[in-house]
Structure 1
Amino acid sequence: MKFSINTKTLLASVAAAAFSLLAQANDAKNLDELLNQLAQGQIAQTEENKAREAQFTARKSEQDAMLKQAIGERDGQIQLSAQLENQFQDNELALANQTDALNKRLGELKELFGVLQQVAGDTKSKFQNSVISSQISGRDVFLDEFAQSMGSTSKLASIEEIERLWFELQREMTQSGKIATFDREIVLADGTKTTTAVKRVGSFNLVANGKYLEYINETDSVAELMRQPVNRYLDTASTLSDASNGQVAFALDPTGGSILSLLIQAPSDRERVDQGGPVGYVILAIGLVGLLIAIERFISLFLIGAKVNRQLKAPAASDDNPLGRVLMVKEQYPNADTETLELKLSESILREVPKLQSRLTIIKIISVVAPLIGLLGTVTGMINTFQAITLFGTGDPKLMAGGISQALVTTVLGLVVAIPMVFISTLLNTRSKGIINILQQQSAGIIANRSEKGA
């Protein structure tokens, strides 16, 4: 590198001299002047070169001095590094000896402090999930600092810290057996915040305004559950919120919210129906139609049966009931022979049968079709399940839950509609046949009377 720089400098000097000589040559008028100019230029160039050489020599000496200084500093740093390494090793040995001596002196106290650290960590986790922290905040800060100080720096616990740990454990145990009321800002289900009276049932549940609450440790906030349990549990929460003393029935979650969170995740009846999809809605629509027809038939047959019973007790025939219209046939044909009268009565009964059995076939068809539609929904749901397995595999069961839910819910809905329809169809059919049987009995009696008179 040094040689390259000096060579460049020398070439630059030679080039500058050459340009200078050429400039002087251009100013010369004859050969003698040119020769003199060349001689003078050579002399000037020699002196300039000597000055440059002297400057170069001086710089070389300066660079040698800087190099020696750098080598000296390097050797000094190497020596210092060796000294520090030796000192570090000595410190490690001394620290190990001091640690061994400390462990020997601690003896059983070391196990005690280890247990204290473990208890502090476990208690901190418990306090973070405890609803008591919604009323008494900041307890986990001390436990966190206590556990970290003992674990990271091997600091020995003081009497005050041990007593503080015992106090927090005792307070948690004491508060878990009390029902406390305190004012606290809560987050409602719609996202708004309000300050209200909150009742804490031990370390189990929080309620306010007849609804269950949850404590969120990450934000140190109390929020209303987005979904509340069914009404029979909410009624106990309302009773507890309104009560000031005495004993009240309350739906308690002994797990501190785990069972409640699972309970509110269970789908409601409306959500179960929605899981059936379009097939489920079709089944319910058919069931509703069948129920309306069944109600109409029950009322109609009940009224007809009442009129027929009255007609049985009445001396004169009336045309407002099937039996009365059948009995009027005898009056319309007083002189007809037995065979003719029998045919006329049979014709009258046949006219009444369609009215008595009207729309009963539809109910019977619904009782048969409903489970078939449920089976259709089952097949559709299983197809969706296998499509999800094909696309995403079986790693996540939630991807298959939709199809399985549809398959099961439609089957249930089909059976729920079909089973009552079977009973209803049987009852209505029995009722209508009972009325028809009365008509046939009375018709047979009329024919028997006519035969006796004719004989």
Structure 2
Amino acid sequence: MKQSIWIVFLVSLCCSMLVCAQDTEAEVTDEQQVSRKVVSLDQLLEQVKEGNRTDTIFNQQRIAEFRQAKDKQAAMLADIQRQREVAEALSATREQMFEDNDQQITLLQERLSERLGALKELFGVLQLVANDTQAQFENSLVQIHYPQRTADLNAFSTKMGSSTELPTVEEIEALWFELQREMTESGKIVMSQQTVLNADGEETIEDVIRVGTFNLVANGKYVQRIMETGRLVEFARQPSNRYMSGAEAIADKSGELVAMTIDPVRGQLIALMGAAPDLRERVQQGGVIGYIILSLGAVVIVLALIRYVVLMIEDARIRSQLTQLDNPGNNALGRIIKVYLKNRDEGLESLELKLGEAVLREIPKITRGLSFLKISAAIAPLLGLLGTVTGMIITFQAITLFGAGDPKLMAGGISQALVTTVLGLTVAIPALLLHNLVNDKATKLSQIIEQESVALVAVQAEKSEG
């Protein structure tokens, strides 16, 4: 027990000594830090003093430099002022020289105008002629063979408008020569190879025939020259066949005289004729009613031709039957004769009735289709009138919506109104003629049948009386 107490006491003593030692070290460390802080502040103060001295020296150097630069700037200002005085003096000299030169130029121009006299008016006329000729050449078809002449005329016209240059005799003669060549080429037919843009958008080298200054023909088709680009382009739509015969004939290179369509406005009339609608497009303008009228016309023509052929065959058979009354065949008269032979032993009245019945059976076969032809001849113009009324309704609707300022908006309705009328009359007239033709043939056959039936009755009556 006593030993334990002593051990605890020794341990406590050791701990107390350690604590005291740590406190002593902490006090020493604090004192060192304070001393270090004091040393750092002194050094900082010394550095600030040194910095002030350095700034003062630097500022003094800068002030000295500014003073030196001020002296230099004063010298530069004096130099610039001297240069300004020299420039002003030179400007005054040049202004005086300009005024003197201007007066001299005016005097020389007056002398030039006096010496030119009537030549001045001549040069003005030459300039006007050159400008007009240049514009004419740019539109001319001869330009494909002489493309450089417009540039020469442009240079000549520019020279004519200048007051410092005078034209030479050779240049004036060149203008006269170009005018004379244009007139000479207008009476020639020239063939050359040129690049042509066809209707399919492909460029090909073709033998282009120039007919004076009027037409260009390539491969039997008319070609136009685009003034802006100078290219040769085939017309998208060629004129009708009667205008194409000359182009095709001259393209055959036969060398013979041919009838040729001449366009005096260099392709504009050909373009207008090509833009004119053909027969198919005219029919399309008639719309649904137009197609109905044409269908009716086709049916009428086919039916009339069939009936006329049938009646012609029947007429031949009947005329042949007239020479062979004792041998009835397969025709209208032959069938009536068969009825007569079958019933000739009966009474006269009975025979007459039998023959009348036979005639009545044959006449509808002969006159078959005539009523349809007659009705068609009356319906066709009525259908045309219906299309006319429909087209006018469309036209008035367009006027109501868009006004009457643009005729193209009303063209569709007017075209339908006029085309259907024409189609109706076109179908009605031949339908009426065909109806009369077939009706005449049917009437003649009917009369022959009736006459022969009456003759048979008369023969039988004579036999009965005898």
Kindly report the root-mean-square deviation, in angstroms, between the aligned alpha carbons of the 2 structures.
3.9
2:435 to 420, 425, 429: 425
CA 1:312–1:239 in 2, change beyond 3 Å: closer, same or farther? same
Give how far 1:100 is off. Answer: 4.1
- Paired residue secondary structure (1:183): strand
Could you tell me which residue of structure 2 aligns to residue 135 of structure 1?
A: 145
How far residue 400 of structure 1 moved from its aligned partner, in angstroms, is 2.0
- Alpha-carbon deviations, 1:148-176, whole Å to 9, x = none? 34336675323232122112112212222
Deviation at 1:451, TM superposition (A): 2.0
Q: Does 1:354 align with 2:351?
A: no
With the length of structure 2 as denominator, give the TM-score of the two structures: 0.77
Shift of 1:186: 1.0
**2:176 corresponds to which residue?**
166
Residue of structure 1 in register with 2:422 after alignment: 412
Match of 1:396 among 385, 403, 406: 406
Q: Deviations over 1:125-156 (max 9, x none)?
A: 21111111112212211222322343366753
Once the two structures are aligned, what percentage of the paired residues are identical? 48
Distance 2:164 2:399 in 1: 53
2:381 equivalent to 1:371:
yes
* Residues 1:433 and 1:127: Cα distance change in structure 2 (over 3 Å): same
SS in 2 for 1:247: coil
How far residue 235 of structure 1 moved from its aligned partner, in angstroms, is 2.9
Deviations 1:87-141 (A, max 9, x none): 9888777665554443332221111111111111111121111111112212211
> Is 1:184 matched with 2:194?
yes
Question: Which segment drifts farther, 118-127 or 146-155?
Answer: 146-155
Match of 2:339 in 1: 329
Q: TM-score, normalising length from structure 1?
A: 0.79
Distance (Å, rounded) in 1 between the aligned partners of 2:410 and 2:91: 66
| Distance (whole Å) between structure 2 residues aligned to residue 438 and residue 218 of structure 1 | 78
Q: Residue 185 of structure 1 contacts residue 222 of structure 1 at CA under 8 Å; is this kept in 2? A: yes
Please name the residue that 1:33 is paired with: none
Find the partner of 1:290 among 267, 279, 300.
300
Contact 2:208–2:217 at 8 Å: present in 1 too? yes
The verdict on how the C-alpha distance between 1:413 and 1:105 changes in structure 2, with shifts beyond 3 A counting, is same
- Aligned mates of 1:212, 1:246 — CA distance in 2: 19
Deviation at 1:431, TM superposition (A): 0.9
Note if contact 1:294-1:363 (Cα within 8 Å) is conserved in structure 2: yes
Gaps of 5+ in 1: 1-72
Alpha-carbon distance in 2 for matches of 1:264, 1:411:
25
* Aligned counterpart, 1:440: 450
The Cα of 1:251 is off from its aligned counterpart by: 2.8
Distance apart, 1:268 and its partner CA:
1.3
Q: Which residue of 2 aligns with 1:102?
A: 112
Contact kept in structure 1, 2:142 and 2:182, CA below 8 Å: yes
Cα distance in 2, alignment partners of residues 385 and 114 from structure 1? 55
Question: For residues 221-254 of structure 1, what are the alpha-carbon distances to aligned partners after superposition, in whole Å with 9 as ceiling and x for unaligned?
Answer: 1121111122233332222122253434433334
CA distance 1:378–1:79, change in 2 (3 Å): farther
Listed one character per residue, the Cα deviations across residues 154-204 of structure 1 (whole Å, up to 9, x for unaligned) are 753232321221121122122222221211111111011111222212222
**1:24-73 Cα distance to aligned partner (Å, 9 max, x none):** xxxxxxxxxxxxxxxxxxxxxxxxxxxxxxxxxxxxxxxxxxxxxxxxx9
Please give the alpha-carbon distance, in whole angstroms, between the structure 1 residues aligned to 2:99 and 2:441: 106
Runs of 4+ in 1 over 6 A off after TM superposition: 73-94
Secondary structure (helix, strand or coil) at the match of 1:156 reads: coil
Q: Which residue of 2 aligns with 1:31?
A: none
Asked if the contact 1:317–1:325 (Cα under 8 Å) also holds between the matched residues in 2, the reply is no
CA distance in 1, matches of 2:85, 2:422: 90
Which residue of 196, 199, 208 maps to 2:209? 199
Distance 1:339 1:266 in 2: 71
**Secondary structure of the structure 2 residue equivalent to 1:143:** helix
Task: Say if 1:92 and 1:271 are closer, same or farther in 2 by CA, change over 3 A.
Answer: farther
